[in-house]
Amino acid sequence: MLGKLIKYDFKALNRYLIAIHIMLLITAALGRFLFVERLIKNSGGLSDMGMVIMTLLILLYVILFMTALFGTLLVISIHFYKNLYSDEGYLTHTLPVSRGRLLIAKTVSGSVWMLIDVVLVIMSVLILVLYQPMVREFSAHKDEVLIAMGFPSTVGYGKIISLIIVLFVVSAVANVMMLYVSIAVGQLFSNHRVMGAIAAYFSINTILSVVSGVVGAAYSVSVITNAVDETFMYQLYSKAYIFGIVLELILAVGSYLVTYLLMQKKLNLN
């Protein structure tokens, strides 16, 4: 039954998100091959009409870029709300399945799509701006680039990419759970529950920003003050990464537990 729930949730999300991200990638590819490469080869190679079209294409890409980022959050949130807390929720909660499984299914589908969104947005940027001479130049000086960024020569790109992937996965789950717990908290209000959910979301974001800012500044001061060699930037990266992972894990687990408890004890349908 859990597999069927996950499949249903993916089907509901795919309906909108696949189209949005396909358009994003197509626009990035068009911008790359029709305009960016021509500008790189010959800065004066575009006519006035070409410049107008390029400007419009860039504007379209920016709109789709923002739509992919915020639209993914919005679609996931709306699906969670409609399926569990609106009139549709009456039908959902008559299914022979626990609320815990309903939450797991939506956590899986939402987190996977959040991760897909990040990957495809990054891919679209690379398609648009990454050209062959840049790749060759990077390949020829990749060790120097790593050192210039503050990483020791013993740290390879494989390890860095692996750590980034782990962070992306944890962040995807944490971001989805922050949406869900905000919606669940919003249902505690008798009226204006959507506004309550929005207020809860921004309140959580504000608290996280303050905590991460204060702790991040303290970490930075501590590392810089006690720096004894050129690896202090790597130490700073390492501490910031560990703190970020821990914070995201706490957010993900805490939000999941609160959402689950509110669904069990304080379910309030329209």
**What gap in Å lies between CA 224 and CA 7, rounded to an integer?**
49
**174: CB partners within 8 A, 6+ apart:** 248, 249, 251, 252, 255
**145: CB partners within 8 A, 6+ apart:** 138
Q: Which of 58-62, 224-228, 235-239, 250-254 has the lowest mean pLDDT?
A: 224-228
**What gap in Å lies between CA 182 and CA 177, rounded to an integer?**
8
**What gap in Å lies between CA 246 and CA 118, rounded to an integer?**
20
- Distance, CA of 207 to chain centre: 19
Q: Which of 39-43, 140-144, 241-245 has the lowest mean pLDDT?
A: 39-43
Residue-wise pLDDT for 179-196, tens only, equals 999 998 888 887 787 888
Q: Which residue has the higher pLDDT, 243 or 46?
A: 243
The token pair that represents 248 in the structure block: 């995201």
3-state secondary structure of 2: helix
- The CA R_g of the chain, rounded to the nearest whole Å, is 23
Averaged pLDDT of the chain: 80
**What gap in Å lies between CA 9 and CA 83, rounded to an integer?**
9
pLDDT at 81 over 80: yes
- The domain segmentation of the chain, as residue ranges, is 1-140, 141-270
